């Protein structure tokens, strides 16, 4: 079994347009903005909410359940740049901005998008980015959360 550490092996990009969440194209992905270099090591949170529905009856002593809905926001913690013109991630994310966050895992982050790679595609609407609380000996950072506007494709293949 091939195993990997997350460091250097995750790529996160934002792109405005993807025609098919199941098969984003190399051209669509190349038109996006790479966010990986702006992300902190613990800076990627993808939807992880899993809900369950009660399925037990009065005749049972065990509280059984079946799967229900799932979802949640995409949340990114990113670094700021001291030169405003170079502050790419901060300048990009604005309240109400629609598009797609694409996450690729298990391939070196610097590797170009290639046909047949597996990716996660999250259709999103960004909330207002918020500066993170200050701390001693820490870079300037901000948090950006995005509502996932429709069901993501967690097993998409680059076309």
Answer yes or no: is 1 within a domain. Answer: no
Considering only CA atoms, which of 124, 141, 144 is closest in space to residue 133?
A: 141
Inter-residue contact 122 to 103 (CB < 8 Å): yes
Confidence bin at 4 (pLDDT 50/70/90): confident
Answer yes or no: is 2 within a domain. Answer: no
What separation in angstroms does the CA of 132 have from each of 93, 104, 135?
15, 26, 9
Answer yes or no: is 57 within a domain. Answer: yes
Answer yes or no: is 4 within a domain. Answer: no
pTM of the predicted model as reported, rounded to 2 decimal places = 0.93
- Whether 2 shows a pLDDT value over 80: the answer reads no
- Whole domain around residue 98: which residue ranges? 10-157
Confidence bin at 92 (pLDDT 50/70/90): very high
CATH of the domain at 80: 2.40.30
Answer yes or no: is 128 within a domain. Answer: yes
- Whether 1 shows a pLDDT value over 90: the answer reads no
CA atoms within 13 A on the CB side of 17: 4
- Whether 109 shows a pLDDT value over 80: the answer reads yes
Answer yes or no: is 5 within a domain. Answer: no
pLDDT tens for 14-66 read 999 999 999 999 999 999 999 999 999 999 999 999 999 999 999 999 999 99
Answer yes or no: is 21 within a domain. Answer: yes
Answer yes or no: is 41 within a domain. Answer: yes
Total count of domains within the chain: 1
């Amino acid at each position: 079994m091939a195993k990997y550490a997350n460091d250097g092996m995750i790529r996160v990009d934002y792109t405005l347009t993807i025609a098919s969440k199941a098969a984003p194209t190399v051209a669509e992905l190349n038109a996006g903005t790479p966010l990986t270099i702006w992300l902190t090591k613990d800076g990627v949170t993808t939807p992880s909410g899993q809900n369950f529905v009660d399925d037990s009856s009065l005749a049972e002593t065990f509280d059984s359940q079946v799967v229900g809905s799932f979802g949640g926001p995409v949340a990114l913690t990113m670094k700021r740049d001291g030169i405003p013109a170079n502050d790419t991630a901060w300048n990009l994310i604005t309240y109400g901005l629609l598009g797609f966050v694409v996450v690729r895992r298990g391939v070196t982050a610097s590797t170009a998008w290639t046909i047949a790679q597996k990716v996660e595609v999250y259709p999103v609407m960004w909330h207002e980015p918020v500066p993170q609380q200050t701390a001693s000996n820490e870079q300037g950072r901000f948090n950006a959360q995005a509502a996932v506007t429709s069901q993501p494709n967690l097993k998409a293949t680059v076309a």
